[in-house]
A and B are shown apart, each in its own frame.
Chain A
Amino acid sequence: MNRVTLFFHKAGSPPWFYRVSGLLIPWFWAIFIVLTAIGLYLGLIKAPVDYQQGETVRIMYLHVPSAWMSMMIYGFMAIMGFIALVWRIRMMEVLVISSAPIGAAFTLIALITGSLWGRPMWGTFWVWDARLTSELVLLFLYFGVIALYKAYDEPRKAARAASLLSIVGAFNLPIIYFSVVWWNTLHQGSSFTGDGPGIHPSMLWPLLIMATTMKFYYGASLLSRARLTLLKQDHRKRWVQDLLSGENS
């Protein structure tokens, strides 16, 4: 068995996952805190004010990475949901349902920060623009996945239903991404095109650092939630009993 196959076999084992994720989480949080401090310093203090948007451009350093994360997490959920349904890997089901609240949080942040940017720039908090509406649909899809999981008593059946909705809902991702191309929207087009980013490096770096730090937030948060879900699902199993006995002694 090669090392990659061995890793996937091990990762499918809840006790192994629980132990290794427990080691990774503090590192993810540490990197997140350091990168966030650097990103916020560069974005809120060092980066210049935009000549058109003024100070509101600083909302971009939170809004854009959150919007990217909202789409990325749903994409991951669809992929993990597919693997969970086809190969019946339980850890993938756990990761799908643990990702949903984090994805919903990022979507909510993207929508609220976008509104707070839109009020001074567009003169309104909300318009039924294709980008905004499709992002709102994404939030409802996240809520749907969470609600569907909670609607079943049997956790594995619930996770499979949630995985299926994750796959079906993935149709919305290209709509969000291309909405600014397919329709004439109030929302601006992508800043990253094939010709390279149209942003000055003084603004690009804090944006990229904030986008990177959000990945570590997702990693730490996902592993914490997956560990909790495993404990809930396996509380009668031997490895959890041993874990509790170990903590008692």
Chain B
Amino acid sequence: MPSYSVFVISAYLVGTVVLLWVALAPVFNKRTLLRQLKTRQARMERSK
């Protein structure tokens, strides 16, 4: 019987990429959002 390792490796590669993407996306989005909010807050405080 052939080993079919390529199918096993592909499956785990796909799983890793998808799970990493789903886990990291909110981390990067939160950083961007916090940066935007801080910039806006600083601008508002300057204008007071």
Q: Give the residue name and chain of the B residue nearest to A113 (CB).
A: B11
Name the distance in Å between A184's Cβ and chain B's nearest Cβ.
26
A227, A235, A241: most-surrounded residue (chain B CB, <10 A): A235
Q: Give the chain A neighbours of B33 by CB distance below 8 A.
A: 228, 231-232, 235
Residue numbers in A under 8 Å from B21 (CB-CB): 105
Residues of B that sit less than 8 Å from A by CB: 1-5, 7-8, 10-12, 14-15, 18-19, 21-23, 25-27, 29-30, 33-34, 37-38, 41
Contacts of A235 in B (CB 8 A): 33, 37
Contact, CB under 8 Å: B26 / A225: yes
B22 touches A54 (CB 8 A): no
How distant is the Cα of A244 from the Cα of B43 in the complex, in angstroms?
13
Cβ–Cβ contact B23 & A62, under 8 A: no
Per the bound structure, the CA–CA distance linking A188 and B19 in Å amounts to 26
Question: How distant is the Cα of A7 from the Cα of B14 in the complex, in angstroms?
Answer: 39
A221 to B26, CA, bound (A): 8
Asked whether, in the complex, the Cβ of B15 is within 8 Å of the Cβ of A66, the reply is yes
Asked if A240 CB lies within 8 Å of chain B CBs, one says: yes
Q: Are A109 and B26 neighbours in the complex by a CB distance under 8 Å?
A: no
Query: Are A248 and B26 within 8 A (Cβ)?
Result: no
Question: In the complex, are the beta carbons of B4 and A54 less than 8 A apart?
Answer: yes
Partner of B2, one of A54, A102, A108, A240: A54
Task: Check if A63 is an interface residue, CB within 8 A of chain B.
Answer: yes
Interface residues of A (CB under 8 A from B): 44, 54-56, 58-59, 62-63, 66, 101-102, 105, 108-109, 112-113, 116-117, 119-120, 217, 220-221, 224-225, 227-228, 231-232, 235, 240-241, 244-245, 247-248
Q: Given A66-B15, A108-B18, A241-B41, is A58 in contact with B26 using a C-beta cutoff of 8 Å?
A: no
The 5 closest A-B pairs by CB, nearest first: A113-B11, A105-B22, A224-B26, A116-B11, A59-B11
Interface CB pairs A-B, < 8 A, 17: A44-B12, A54-B3, A54-B4, A55-B8, A62-B11, A62-B15, A101-B25, A109-B14, A112-B11, A113-B15, A120-B4, A120-B7, A225-B26, A231-B34, A245-B41, A247-B38, A248-B41
Residues of A within 8 A of B34 (CB): 231, 244, 247
Q: How far is the CB of A99 from chain B (nearest CB, A)?
A: 11
- Specify which chain A residues have a CB less than 8 angstroms from the CB of B25 in the assembled complex: 101
- State how many angstroms separate the Cβ of B4 from the closest Cβ of chain A: 5
Q: Assuming A224-B23, A244-B41, A247-B34, is B15 touching A55 (CB within 8 A)? A: no
A63-B11 contact given A102-B22, A225-B26, CB 8 Å threshold: yes
- List the A side residues contacting B19 at CB < 8 Å: 105, 109, 217
Contact B23 A56 (CB under 8 A): no
B18 contacts across to A, CB distance below 8 A = 105, 108-109
Chain B residues near A66: list those with CB within 8 A. Answer: 15
